[in-house]
Amino acid sequence: MPIRRRGSQARRRPRRPRASFEQSFFERALERAIDGLPPQLRPLLDEVAIVVDDLPSPEQRRSAALRADETLYGLYEGVPPTEYAADWVPFPNKITLFRLPLEEDFPDPLDLAEEVRRTLVHELAHHAGFDEDRLAELGVD
């Protein structure tokens, strides 16, 4: 079993870019995940941008305190609305899903779509103010 932190996966082999048609599958999987969110999570989408990037940037890797053999599936950057004066923050809240790690670790399309959904819900929970310990208690890790 690989070493795993929520949103991260151990890496032992180099990454290879995927064909562009797979990117469109990824984007469709993300759209389905957004459309399938439970009604109680939908309001969270009003205050956060959801973007897709191939890999985490060096700064994102540093902020997540990743080891060299780890990478992220998703990352929430921002201030949860539960924080005092969150509406004063000059930068918008953002959830980034990292396409290449997800596609590499979940080559089966059904597994990939499920992990995209799980990662989206996990990052939305961070946006709602839940930390990693609370997410683990709730089984959303």
Q: Provide the total of helices (H) and of strands (E) in the chain, helices listed first.
A: 5, 6
Rounded to two decimals, what is the model's pTM? 0.76
- Give ∠ CA 34-37-38 in degrees, rounded to 5: 165
Cα Rg, the chain, nearest whole Å: 15
What is the per-residue pLDDT across 10-32, written as a single tens digit (0 to 9) for each?
A: 344 445 555 544 558 999 999 99
Query: For the chain, what are the domain ranges?
Result: 18-78+89-138
What is the per-residue pLDDT across 70-96, written as a single tens digit (0 to 9) for each?
A: 889 999 998 887 776 656 666 778 999
pLDDT reported for residue 17: 53
- Six-digit token pair at 41? 């999570």
DSSP state of 1: -
Q: What is the domain class of 18-78+89-138 according to CATH?
A: alpha beta
CB-count exposure of residue 114 (10 Å: 0-12, 13-18, 19+): middle
Strands (DSSP E) found in the chain: 4-5, 8-10, 48-53, 70-72, 74-77, 93-98
